[in-house]
A and B are shown apart, each in its own frame.
Chain A
Amino acid sequence: MRRSIKSMLTSLALGLGIAMFFAMLVPFAGNAQTSPPSAFGTPTDRQAAPPAFTAPAPQTAPLKAKGPFGTVLSWVAQTQQKMQRQLATAVKRLKSGNALGAGLILAGLSFAYGIVHAAGPGHGKAIISSYVIANEETVRRGILISFLAAGVQGLTAVALVGVMLVALNATGFQVNAWVKQLETVSYGLVFLVGLYLLVTELVRLWRRRQARYGAHVHVHHSAHGHHHHGHDHDHENCEACGHIVDARDLAGPLSWRKIAAVVLSVGIRPCSGAVLVLIFALTQGLFWAGVAATFAMALGTAITVAALATLALGSREVALRLGGGNTRWVDGVWTTCAIGGALLVMGIGFLMLTASLGPARPF
């Protein structure tokens, strides 16, 4: 049972990854569906006044920040702005000119934008990292969760824009309002996931304490710093048995449910960057290019989040090794990670939830 679920999730992640890759190629296919160039230009071209009569839109002076990190911060802000402008140009070029080149540029840009963009909040970077250290998740699972969450986020964005704008003919602002609602729901769910992690960990500690005082048996951990948390759910007080746990049993049973909870709590919130690109592509009559860009972006986001989750797991591994096999140390690190990680997930959920309940943004 456990194995089949595990392999199911792995193949799902793999499938999503492959889908994201192919989605990056879609712009070319999408272009083939557009009508042949007309002598009068595309409908939007026709409405535009001749260039000589329109005043050019004002250009912003490069953003500059003060302070010791000013140069770096300025660079980050300017790069993001440049990338967004290039994205817009790439989408527009799909309609005219070299579609193959524009498609490749769009896919590449979206991917890069995803990597950079994930540095912002709401992509589950902090949540997933905290979650994997709070649970005895493996690196492979950390990567899996990151990809699943990014994939679901992409799907939410596509579904939201697709249903609301294509099917329901809603306004951009109604979509924005929905994004905000989903954000609030997402942060609320994140808080609950954190609370759940904390409660399970506290219950485990309490049970162990009972077992320790009841049976007068010491807790044993494997010398490799591995932990057998998962067994607690199955056989209560089993930690008192003191057996050495096989590495394959590391990830406890039923944790797929937890993984689904994390993936959904993060993924239910569409990335506002992706929503903007989708709407822009839609107004250009190239919704599919937007969908492709969204998944290319999700792939980029997933890589950043997975890298951070792996880094978090690596830090835990280092912390475990510092004790040199001392069981008390290992136990201490595990408990700290479990409680600290759970508190972090809760804290992030709470902070972001309160922030998202603030007044509606004008833009």
Chain B
Amino acid sequence: MPQTVFAKIWDAHLVTKRSDGRDIIYVDRHIMHDLHAPIAMQKIVDAGRTVLRPHLTWSSQDHSVSIQPDRDVTAREGSPFNQKVRVLAQKFGIRVFDIGDSEQGISHVIGPELGMVLPGSTYACPDSHACTVGGVGAMAFACGTTELEHVLATQSIAMLRPKTMRVNLTGKLKPGVSAKDVIMRVIAQLGADGARGYVVEYAGPVAEALEIEGRLTLCNMSIEWGARSGLVAPDEKTFAWLKGRPYAPTGAEWDAALADWRQFKTDPGATFDKEHTVDCGGLDPQITWGTNPGQVIGIGDVVPDPSSVPPERRDAFNHSLEYMGLKAGQKIEGLPVDVVFIGSCNNARLSDLDEVAKIVKGKKLASGVRALIVPGSSAVKRAAEAKGYDKVFKDAGFMWGASGCSMCAGGEGIVAAKGQRVLSTTNRNFENRQGAGVRTHLVSPAMAAAAAITGKITDSRAVPTA
């Protein structure tokens, strides 16, 4: 019977079925982070349990680390969370990607980058953006703290088999339009809860044409429309991207892995519980205008009118408008911008910084704009510096930080001020996420860079590049 890539991964990891109907699915790779790891590890200690497979478990210091450029010297101790992670991880023999470690970074960024999360494998992380790793054809499971404790104790998750959805991304992207724009359009079209209960496979010519880093960006926002997980079937591009990465298999094992990975395709004729098509051919750079990730328009569009939603949704719609300081019918382009944040597990890989550097090189920040670039991992930081980007960014007036989540969720303390408009390459435009009363607009790296230079919301394609 023809099968979906999801079914192949699920079946390949099925340990057994529990009597309550949940499948025990084996977890190949498990990366925790500083906010949840200490609580779950402490609970394991308190319950007198142990970590079943510490050699398949890691913890990254990302959410609460300082991103000050000199933190490896001055803030090495880190936050109280960072300190607790260290103590407990050592107890269990779990490797920590710590401050100052060359492999430190945001968990979802380093998993693929290190060649640790592999095609057709399973990945667990106590974080809703675990789905990022679907970009290399892995199946991610996001969970809370008690579930995390379950993963630690059993190296598995116990889940009901989710439903499947395929989103066919058709057309050909115009120049200057990126994976970020695609996923924002998908959510706008299919709804901020359109994928609740489903594992989504992104397919079609646009998904195939995306580079791996773009696919990571695409899958990262699966949770923003409620998906249990999201992935792109791995292909030769995926394998080439993974080859030679530090934790990827080598030699004869690489060849065997490759033969295995090639089966993780959805067979022709396989059926999904739901299927959608999103045409991306006419897509312009996208931007959120509101406070949920489905409230998206093209850069040339006007802020929509409350009458565009059903009557029972109008109150929330008006509230979004008010929070964002916008009026229906107003043009989004040209609005003044206070802060620009380029970072996060969504858009802080080297290819994202390439886009930023192209736009920023030889220019200066618009006066009054505060701008911050935080690489997704320490490896991205080194690679960017090897290309001279630190100088490009600093010359333009950006702050160039050390790797972490930083202003994505404000966990380390850098936030914007009430009423400020932030152009952010992150994945969540929720109220107050980047500071109380802060107005976040989600955009691609190019759009964020363009706004930093012009001081207003600008079509990135109109800014001359170096």
Q: Do A and B come from one complex?
A: no
B: residues with CB less than 8 A from A are none
